[in-house]
A and B are shown apart, each in its own frame.
Chain A
Amino acid sequence: MAEREHSIYFDPGKCIACVACAQACPTHAVRVREGMARLKPELCIDCGACIDACRYDAARARTSTPADLRRFKYTVAIPSMTFYAQFGREVMPEQILHALTHVGFDAFYDMSWMVEMVAGATDAWISECRGPWPRISVTCPAIVRLIQIRYPDLLDHLVPIETPRELAAKLLRRKLVAELRLQPEEVGIFFVTQCTAIMNSILAPVGLDQSYLDGAFGINELYGPVLKALSHGEPAERELGALAASESVSRAGLMWAMSGGEISGMRNANTMTVSGVREVMGTFDRIESGKYRNVDFIEAYVCPGGCVSGCLVIEERYIAQRTVQQIGRRLRGQNSVKEEKIRGLLRDHFFAMEDEIKARPVHAIPRDLRQAIAWKRERSALLDRLPRKDCGACGAPDCGTHAEDCLSGESSEDGCVFVRIANLEKTPAETRGNER
C-alpha cells in the first residue's frame, strides 16, 4: 500500500523526533529516522494511535478540505453516529444535521436507519451461516486492516457485509442523480468522521473496488463551525429540529457510536465485545489458538470504548458515551426495520461486499525454513547485545524491532546509544586519542 493511500502523515515542521508515536503504534509501522517520524506504509493500519500519542501536533490526519467541496455541483454530508454525541445531551441529531447545511454542504443525510439495517442483516446472516466461529465484525476498518496484515487466518471469520456508510452513500447517490437530474460525478458525498481508518477506507477501500464516498471531514474540523451554526440557528428551527429527530433517527443506529452498540441490537447471536487495540490483539491471538469457538460474533474496535474515542473527536469519550445513552432514550425506541425485509434484501445480495478481503502479509522473514531459523538466531543474538530498555532512542519502538531493522539493513547495531557507549568504553583511551 502506497504512503499516499494512508490517512496519516507527519508534519516535518512540527515533528521533534521524540518516538512517542513509534512506541504507541500497535503494528510497529513508525520509525524515527533523520530527525523525523516516518511511516512504513505496508504496516500502517491507520488506527490513529500515533495522532493520539503525539504531543506536538505533528501526526496529522489527511482529511477533505472545503476546496474538495467545490469540485461538485451538489454536496451532502453524512455524519457518523459519533458526530451526534459531540454536542451534549441537549442537542438532538436532527439539529446537528440541519447545522451541516450552514457550514458548506448543500444537504445532509442521516444514515442511522442504514446502520440498523446492517445490524439486522448481520444478525440474520449469522443465524444462517456455518463457521468458522467466532465471526468478527467489519465495522472498524482498522481491525480489518489489522487482520489483513497480522491475522490472515482470521479473514474467513469476517462478516462479509458492507458497512452502513458505503451502502448509504451508494443509495443516496442513486437517489440524488434521479431526483436532481445530475450526473453521478456531480454529486459529492462526504462522511463526517472520528476516524483516520475510515478516511483510509475511502482512499483505499477493502472489499470494494472504489468507495461510494467522495471524501471525509474530521469531526475536529467541523466541530467549531457546526457549534456556531447551532447557536445561531433560529429558536423555531431548533425546536423543529428536536421534534423531527424523534421521527427519523434510529436509536439502534446511534448506539453504534460506542462499543457494545453493535451487538445490543442483535437478537440471534451469542456475542462479545472487545475494544482497545492491544486487547483486541490478545483476543485474536486466542481465536487463532482455537478459543472462543462457542462465541458467534465478536464486535472489535481498535479504539477503547468504540468510535467515541476515535482520534478526531472533540468530546471526551465518557461524556460522549453518556450523551449517546441520553439522546438514545429520547429517540423512538422500537426497531423501525422489519426482519423479513432485511432477510429478503440479504438474499438479493444488497448487503454483500463487492470484493473478497485479501491478506496483505508483510514478509520480513525469509520464506526458506533454514534461512528463517538463521534469521531468528541472528535476531536473538543481536537482541542479547542490545540493552532491552526499549527506549526508542534508535528510532525503532523497541529493541526487538531495532534488531529486525538491523537484519533488514535498515539500521545498524550502533544506532543504539547504549551499544555506542559500550563500544567507546571498550576502546582504550590512547587509541581514542590517536583516532582524533
Chain B
Amino acid sequence: MNGDAPPLPAPGEEVLYSESFPIRGNDFEHGGSVAARVKVILKQLGIPSDSIRHLSISNFEAEMNVIMYADEATLELQVLSGEVRVILADRGPGIVDLDLAMQEGYSTATPEMRQRGFGAGLGLPNIKRNSDVFSITSTVGVGTTLRYAVQFEA
C-alpha cells in the first residue's frame, strides 16, 4: 500500500504544468468546484475537448467521493506532453474491498446521499471507463489514492 507515495513522473517524462487543489470532506457547498476549476485550466491550455470531457467526468466523481466519504484530500493535476494525469490522495476511512468498490452498482452511500442523486455505485467504475490509465490503492483507516490519466495526441 503506497497511499502516501509522492507522484513521481517516470524517467524521461516531464511534467509541464502542475497545480494542487485541496478538497474538504462534507463540503457539499463547494461540491464540483475543483472539477470546474480544473476544466477551466485544461481549456486554457488548449487540451482537446474530448479529453477535457472525460477528465471532467472523472474529476467530478472523484471530488464528490472525497466530499461524501473522506476527511480531506489533495487533487494534483499534472499536464505532460500528450497526457493529463490526476492524483487524488485522501485521508479517510479507506476502502475495505477494492474489487467490490470497482463493481458497478455497489455503493456504501447513505439514504440521504442517494436522495441527492449520488450513491448509484457508478463512481469508481465511471472514472476507470473515462481514463486511459487508472489505478487505486487504499489502506483502511488511512486513506485512498486514486491515479488516472487521459492521453491525447500531442
Residue numbers in A under 8 Å from B79 (CB-CB): 369, 373
Question: What is the CB-to-nearest-CB distance from B114 to chain A, in angstroms, rounded to a whole number?
Answer: 15
Please state if A153 and B53 are interface contacts (CB–CB under 8 Å): yes
A285-B36, A365-B44 in contact; A373/B16 too (CB < 8 A)? Answer: yes
Residue numbers in B under 8 Å from A152 (CB-CB): 49
Question: What is the CB-to-nearest-CB distance from B81 to chain A, in angstroms, rounded to a whole number?
Answer: 6
Residue A181 CB within 8 A of the other chain:
no
Residue B128 CB within 8 A of the other chain:
no
- A153, A290, A369, A379: the one within 8 Å of B49 (CB): A153
Query: Which secondary structure characterizes the binding site on chain A?
Result: helix
Please state if B16 and A370 are interface contacts (CB–CB under 8 Å): yes
Please state if B46 and A365 are interface contacts (CB–CB under 8 Å): yes
In the complex, chain B residues 41-86 whose Cβ is within 8 Å of any chain A Cβ: 41, 44-47, 49-50, 52-53, 56-57, 59-60, 79, 81
Residue A289 CB within 8 A of the other chain:
yes
Please state if B17 and A376 are interface contacts (CB–CB under 8 Å): yes
Please state if B39 and A369 are interface contacts (CB–CB under 8 Å): no
- A285, A291, A372, A379: the one within 8 Å of B46 (CB): A372
Please state if A290 and B46 are interface contacts (CB–CB under 8 Å): no
**Residue with the greatest number of chain B CB neighbours at <10 A, chosen from A153, A289, A290, A373:** A289
Question: What is the CB-to-nearest-CB distance from B56 to chain A, in angstroms, rounded to a whole number?
Answer: 4
Residue B35 CB within 8 A of the other chain:
yes
- 5 smallest A-B Cβ distances: which pairs? A290-B57, A289-B56, A372-B46, A372-B45, A373-B17
Question: What is the CB-to-nearest-CB distance from B29 to chain A, in angstroms, rounded to a whole number?
Answer: 16
Question: What is the CB-to-nearest-CB distance from B106 to chain A, in angstroms, rounded to a whole number?
Answer: 20
CB pairs A–B below 8 angstroms (29 shown): A152-B49, A153-B49, A153-B53, A285-B36, A285-B39, A288-B56, A289-B35, A289-B36, A289-B39, A289-B56, A290-B53, A290-B56, A290-B57, A290-B60, A365-B44, A367-B46, A369-B16, A369-B46, A369-B47, A369-B79, A369-B154, A370-B16, A372-B44, A372-B46, A373-B16, A373-B45, A375-B44, A376-B41, A376-B44
Indicate the size class of the contact surface on chain A. Answer: 10 to 19
Please state if A288 and B53 are interface contacts (CB–CB under 8 Å): yes
Chain A residues in contact with chain B, CB under 8 A?
152-153, 285, 288-291, 365-367, 369-370, 372-373, 375-376, 379
Please state if B45 and A376 are interface contacts (CB–CB under 8 Å): yes
Please state if B81 and A369 are interface contacts (CB–CB under 8 Å): yes
With an 8 Å Cβ cutoff, the count of chain B residues facing the other chain is 22
- 0/1 string, B126-140, CB within 8 A of A gives 1: 000000000000000
Known: A288-B52, A289-B56. 15 other contacts (CB 8 A): A153-B49, A153-B50, A288-B53, A289-B32, A289-B36, A289-B59, A290-B53, A291-B60, A365-B46, A369-B45, A369-B79, A369-B81, A373-B45, A375-B44, A376-B45
Residue numbers in B under 8 Å from A370 (CB-CB): 16, 81
Chain B residues in contact with chain A, CB under 8 A?
16-17, 32, 35-36, 39, 41, 44-47, 49-50, 52-53, 56-57, 59-60, 79, 81, 154
Residue numbers in B under 8 Å from A375 (CB-CB): 44
Question: What is the CB-to-nearest-CB distance from A289 to chain B, in angstroms, rounded to a whole number?
Answer: 4
Query: Which secondary structure characterizes the binding site on chain B?
Result: helix
Please state if A366 and B46 are interface contacts (CB–CB under 8 Å): yes
Question: What is the CB-to-nearest-CB distance from B51 to chain A, in angstroms, rounded to a whole number?
Answer: 11
Q: How far is the CA of A153 from the CA of B49 in the complex (A)?
A: 7
Q: How far is the CA of A316 from the CA of B39 in the complex (A)?
A: 38
Q: How far is the CA of A326 from the CA of B143 in the complex (A)?
A: 60
Q: How far is the CA of A290 from the CA of B62 in the complex (A)?
A: 13
Q: How far is the CA of A289 from the CA of B45 in the complex (A)?
A: 17
Q: How far is the CA of A379 from the CA of B57 in the complex (A)?
A: 27
- B47, B60, B81: the one within 8 Å of A289 (CB): B60
Residue numbers in A under 8 Å from B53 (CB-CB): 153, 288-290
Q: How far is the CA of A201 from the CA of B60 in the complex (A)?
A: 36
Q: How far is the CA of A378 from the CA of B116 in the complex (A)?
A: 40
Question: What is the CB-to-nearest-CB distance from B18 to chain A, in angstroms, rounded to a whole number?
Answer: 10
Residue numbers in A under 8 Å from B60 (CB-CB): 289-291
Question: What is the CB-to-nearest-CB distance from B78 to chain A, in angstroms, rounded to a whole number?
Answer: 12
* A291 nearest CB neighbor, chain B only: B60
* B52 nearest CB neighbor, chain A only: A288
Residue numbers in A under 8 Å from B45 (CB-CB): 365, 369, 372-373, 376
Residue numbers in B under 8 Å from A285 (CB-CB): 36, 39
Question: What is the CB-to-nearest-CB distance from B86 to chain A, in angstroms, rounded to a whole number?
Answer: 14
Question: What is the CB-to-nearest-CB distance from B64 to chain A, in angstroms, rounded to a whole number?
Answer: 11
* B17 nearest CB neighbor, chain A only: A373
Q: How far is the CA of A373 from the CA of B17 in the complex (A)?
A: 7
* A404 nearest CB neighbor, chain B only: B44
Please state if B39 and A288 are interface contacts (CB–CB under 8 Å): yes
Residue numbers in B under 8 Å from A365 (CB-CB): 44-46
Question: What is the CB-to-nearest-CB distance from B57 to chain A, in angstroms, rounded to a whole number?
Answer: 4
Residue numbers in B under 8 Å from A289 (CB-CB): 32, 35-36, 39, 53, 56-57, 59-60
* B82 nearest CB neighbor, chain A only: A369
Residue numbers in B under 8 Å from A153 (CB-CB): 49-50, 53
Q: How far is the CA of A121 from the CA of B17 in the complex (A)?
A: 48
Q: How far is the CA of A326 from the CA of B60 in the complex (A)?
A: 44
Question: What is the CB-to-nearest-CB distance from A102 to chain B, in angstroms, rounded to a whole number?
Answer: 52
